[in-house]
A and B are shown apart, each in its own frame.
Chain A
Amino acid sequence: MSVIFVNVVLLLFLVITALAINQQRNLFAAVMMSGIYSLICASLFVCLDAVDVAFTEAAVGAGIATILFLGTLAVTSYEEKRVVKVHFTSLFLVFICGGLLIYGLSDIPAFGEHSNPVQTYLADAYVNTSFEVIGVPNLVTSVLASFRGFDTLGETTVIFTAGISVLMLLGRGKPKGQSVVQEEIK
């Protein structure tokens, strides 16, 4: 009961933070609040027993993403341009996407249900057969790197590409004038 209460409160905080970020015109404040957003997300993941995901969310969302956002802010302006016009096409598309996602939710089995595939045979199959099938003594490694190998490859590719593109966007500015060392050579 108390866990459900905690979940509901944390989800409420998420909604409040998202609305506040949306209303915020000062980009620095928005970056700060996105850090708070990912901290709430991480707490929610801890409540759902997904501690590893929570850990990644805290490191990437609250740590690296905030720093990358700040680095980007250093080369742009602090204030967002005010857009008064409402784009009804975009609103319509957003509602359609959200509706599809909620429709897709109805197919997902309930959290922690006895009859979920992971509880009935999948975990047993991993524990019993992974050494024979894969040949790696560590169960977690064999699941992550072999059973879900393509999944892991895709994740690392996405993160690597995102990191490279952010670095390319930020660039490194040309040095102003001549540097100290070059003047000493003269």
Chain B
Amino acid sequence: MLEFATALILLAMFMALLSAIFGKTVYDKILAVNIFGTVTVLFIAVFGFMKERPEFLDIAMVYALINFVATIAILKFFEYGDMGRGSSLPDDVDI
């Protein structure tokens, strides 16, 4: 049963990969990366149960958080053209 679920998740990964490769617009690719992250979370969860180590679930949850942050950063990049540092305050400090 869990093997079947893993196989289906791998299939979903492959379809997300195809969408990232052959997607026409940039938004298709962003969506594909996001879907791929979600499918990775599912994969780690199911794989943990398949190997009888369900404590992998914690890691899967942290993956979900990372995926969310990355998507927000990408969308912010689209909105502002950079990482959104455009503050109007004086900024004499250089790295």
**A32, B37: Cβ atoms closer than 8 Å:** no
Q: B14 on the interface (CB 8 Å rule)? A: yes
B67 to chain A, nearest CB (A): 7
Please pick, from B10, B56, B74, the residue contacting A46 in the complex, using a CB distance under 8 A: B56
A147 interface residue per 8 A CB criterion: no
How far apart are the CA atoms of A67 and B77 in the complex, in Å?
A: 9
B37–A3 contact, CB under 8 A?
Answer: no
A47 partner residues in chain B, CB cutoff 8 A: 47
B79 → chain A closest CB, angstroms: 12
- Expressed in whole angstroms, the minimum distance between the Cβ of A110 and any Cβ of chain B is 19
Tell me the smallest distance from the CB of A162 to a CB of chain B, in Å: 15
Q: Which of A43, A47, A181 has the most CB of B within 10 A?
A: A43
The B-contacting residues of A in range 67-106, CB under 8 angstroms, are 67, 70-71, 73-74
Map CB proximity to A onto B63-95 as digits: 1 under 8 Å, 0 otherwise. Answer: 100110110011001000111010011110111
Chain A residues with CB under 8 Å of B77's CB are 70-71, 73-74
How many Å lie between the Cα of A103 and that of B41 in the bound state? 35
**Chain A residues touching B, majority SS:** helix
Interface string of B15-58 (1 = CB under 8 A from A): 01100110000100110110011001001100100110000100
Instruction: Provide the bound-state CA to CA distance between A74 and B21, in Å.
Output: 22
> Given that A33-B21, A67-B83, A175-B90 are known contacts, is A6 also in contact with B10, CB under 8 Å in the complex?
yes
Q: Which chain A residues border B93 with CB–CB below 8 Å?
A: 172
Closest to A54 in B: B59
A74 and B69 alpha carbons, distance in the complex (Å) = 19
Task: Indicate if the CB atoms of A36 and B82 lie closer than 8 Å.
Answer: no
Specify which chain B residues have a CB less than 8 angstroms from the CB of A67 in the assembled complex: 70, 73-74, 83
Whole-angstrom distance between the Cβ of A5 and the nearest chain B Cβ: 8
Q: Bound state CA distance, A17 and B17, in angstroms?
A: 8
Contact B6 A2 (CB under 8 A): yes
| B73 touching A62, Cβ below 8 Å | no
Please provide the 4 A-B residue pairs with the shortest distance between their CB atoms, ordered closest to farther. A74-B82, A32-B29, A70-B77, A67-B73
Q: Which residues of B are in contact with A by a Cβ distance under 8 Å?
A: 3, 6, 10, 13-14, 16-17, 20-21, 26, 29-30, 32-33, 36-37, 40, 43-44, 47, 50-51, 56, 59, 62-63, 66-67, 69-70, 73-74, 77, 81-83, 85, 88-91, 93-95
